[in-house]
């Protein structure tokens, strides 16, 4: 009897579905790529054809060249690919982010989550659990130490900190990944405190969010022209790579500058890793420990493949405590932090 291989397998180019003739989030150019979201470790330019949500395709084009023909099905719309039926479902990670459901003509249904989170986020489509037999889940924060608090409380803290800085003539700088986190931070800011400036690298993706109807407060270009307006009372959102640069010092108020980093990593690493920041705010676009386990339960999957992050720990827990069969899937995805690759929008580094 022939050995039946899995529907989706890791290869040196990415996750390959032979029955459908496509890759999911390949890390090298391929003929047909189904892309879960526009972060650089999941979206590779130079593929022959793309299948992605409309917002993902728009975000990819705002950030990279070499994105050719793209088919953009609506969420839930079935698409025939080879001997499979494929559909995209919201992943709640960033705008447009999708899970990929693959139904073969016979055999178990698979869902590949890509990156996802279950916390509410007004800047992207909410996560939907998708019933399946086999789930391929990310595990960026797959350890019990990672449990996110109330998002609204995080923004209350952030706005209170900005207000106290502005009262003391200090410019507030918030380091946030350029796609997803920066826009989520923007949406939570209280614009009555002062002007909001965005570094050029953030303009492209932020424009896509606004065109998609995501409500964000007014912002201005954080550049030399607008520096006098931002100094001492404004809040500047920029990628982590801008931390400690001469560019940042242009915005110094009479009381100086205060810098915060907004990331799930702030839960433990804090100042140890980000020595130059004054504050850390814990806000992640990935599921925390409870979110990962709850998602496995809600899909009803009996087999769970775990990829990028704390794969071994999560796989062991699920096997021992949840009674599902687990396997670890090697991939090149990097999880939270994938924006530190120097990817710039059309606005460049200015
Ligand atoms: Zn991502």
Distance 59 CA to ligand 1 centre (A): 12
- Shared domain check, 41 and 124: yes
Judge if 109 and 42 occupy the same domain.
yes
Give the DSSP letter of residue 118.
-
Contact at 8 Å (CB) between 343 and 64? yes
User: Is the same domain home to 205 and 260?
Assistant: yes
Mean pLDDT of 208-236: 98
Q: Domain range spanning residue 189?
A: 151-281
Same domain? 102 vs 156: no
13 lies in the same domain as 132: yes
Q: Is residue 336 part of a domain?
A: no
Per-residue pLDDT tens for 151-177?
999 999 999 999 999 999 999 999 999
pLDDT > 90 fraction of the chain, expressed in percent and rounded:
84
CATH number for the domain spanning 224: value is 3.40.50.10890
Is residue 87 included in any domain, yes or no? yes
Q: Encoding tokens for residue 74?
A: 């609506």
145-154, 165-174, 215-224: the lowest-pLDDT one = 145-154
Instruction: Pick the range with the lowest mean pLDDT from 43-47, 89-93, 117-121, 264-268.
Output: 264-268
Distance 106 CA to ligand 1 centre (A): 31
Asked if 147 and 141 touch (Cβ cutoff 8 Å), the reply is: no
**Does residue 163 form part of some domain?**
yes
pLDDT in tens, 181-205: 999 999 999 999 999 999 999 999 9
Residue 324 CA to ligand 1 center (angstroms) comes to: 26
- Expressed in angstroms and rounded, the spacing between residue 58 Cα and the centre of ligand 1 is 15
268 and 291 together in one domain: no
Q: Global pTM?
A: 0.93
* Distance from the alpha carbon of residue 38 to the mean position of ligand 1, in angstroms: 7
Q: How many Cβ atoms are within 10 Å of 86's Cβ, its own excluded?
A: 22
CATH of the domain at 95: 3.60.15.10
Picking from 25-29, 208-212, 330-334, which range would have the lowest pLDDT averaged per residue? 330-334
Ligand 1 centroid distance, CA of 95 (Å): 10
Q: How high is the pLDDT of residue 331? A: 81
C-alpha 194 – ligand 1 centre gap (Å): 30
- Six token digits for residue 90: 């919201």
Domain count for the chain, please give it: 2
CA of 180 to the centre of ligand 1 (A): 8
215 shares its domain with 186: yes
Q: Note the pLDDT tens digit of each residue in 14-56.
A: 999 999 999 999 999 999 999 999 999 999 999 999 999 999 9
3 found inside a domain: no
Nearest Cα neighbor of 62 from 186, 200, 256, 185 is 200
pLDDT at position 342 is: 36
Three-state secondary-structure class, residue 312:
helix
pLDDT > 90? residue 308 = no
Is residue 110 located within the same domain as residue 33? Answer: yes
Summarize the confidence of residues 80-90 as an average pLDDT: 98
Q: Report if residue 1 sits inside a domain.
A: no
> How much distance in Å is there from the Cα of 93 to the middle of ligand 1?
7
- Given a cut of 80, whether residue 3 has pLDDT beyond it is no
Query: Same domain, yes or no, for 136 and 188?
Result: no
**177 C-alpha to ligand 1 centroid (Å):** 10
- Is 56 in the same domain as 185? no
Name the pLDDT band for 337 (thresholds 50, 70, 90): low
Distance from Cα 250 to the centre of ligand 1, integer Å:
31
Task: Please indicate, yes or no, whether residues 135 and 167 belong to a single structural domain of this protein.
Answer: no
Tokens linked to 224: 């030399």
Same domain, 159 and 172: yes
* Residues 297 and 155 sit within 8 Å (Cβ to Cβ): no
């Amino acid at each position: 009897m022939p050995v039946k291989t899995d529907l989706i397998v890791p290869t040196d180019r990415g996750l390959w579905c032979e029955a459908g003739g496509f890759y999911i989030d390949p890390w090298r150019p391929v003929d047909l790529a189904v892309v879960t979201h526009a972060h650089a470790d999941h979206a590779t330019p130079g593929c022959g054809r793309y299948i992605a949500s409309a917002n993902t395709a728009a975000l990819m084009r705002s950030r990279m060249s070499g994105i050719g023909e793209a088919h953009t099905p609506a969420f839930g719309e079935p698409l025939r690919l080879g001997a499979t039926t494929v559909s995209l479902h919201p992943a709640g990670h960033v705008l447009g982010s999708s899970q990929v459901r693959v139904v073969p003509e016979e055999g178990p249904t698979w869902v590949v989550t890509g990156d996802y989170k279950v916390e509410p986020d007004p800047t992207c489509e909410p996560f939907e659990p998708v019933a399946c037999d086999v789930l391929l889940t990310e595990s960026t924060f797959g350890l019990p130490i990672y449990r996110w608090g109330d998002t609204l409380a995080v923004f209350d803290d952030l706005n209170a900190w900005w207000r106290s800085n502005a009262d003391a003539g200090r410019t507030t700088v918030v380091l946030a990944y350029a796609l997803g986190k920066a826009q989520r931070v923007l949406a939570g800011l209280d614009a009555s405190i002062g002007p909001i400036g965005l570094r050029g690298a953030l303009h492209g993706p932020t424009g896509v969010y606004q065109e998609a109807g995501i409500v964000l407060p007014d912002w201005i270009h954080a550049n030399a022209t607008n520096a006098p307006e931002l100094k001492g009372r404004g809040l500047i959102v920029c990628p982590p790579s801008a931390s400690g640069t001469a560019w940042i010092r242009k915005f110094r108020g009479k009381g100086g500058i205060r810098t915060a980093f907004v990331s799930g990593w702030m839960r433990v690493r804090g100042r140890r890793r980000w020595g130059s920041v004054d504050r850390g705010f814990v806000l992640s676009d990935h599921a925390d420990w409870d979110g990962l386990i709850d998602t496995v339960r809600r899909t009803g999957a009996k087999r769970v493949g775990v990829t990028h992050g704390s794969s071994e720990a999560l796989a062991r827990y699920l096997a021992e405590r949840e009674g599902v069969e687990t396997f670890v899937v090697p991939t090149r995805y990097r999880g939270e932090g994938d924006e530190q690759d120097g990817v710039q929008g059309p606005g460049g580094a200015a």
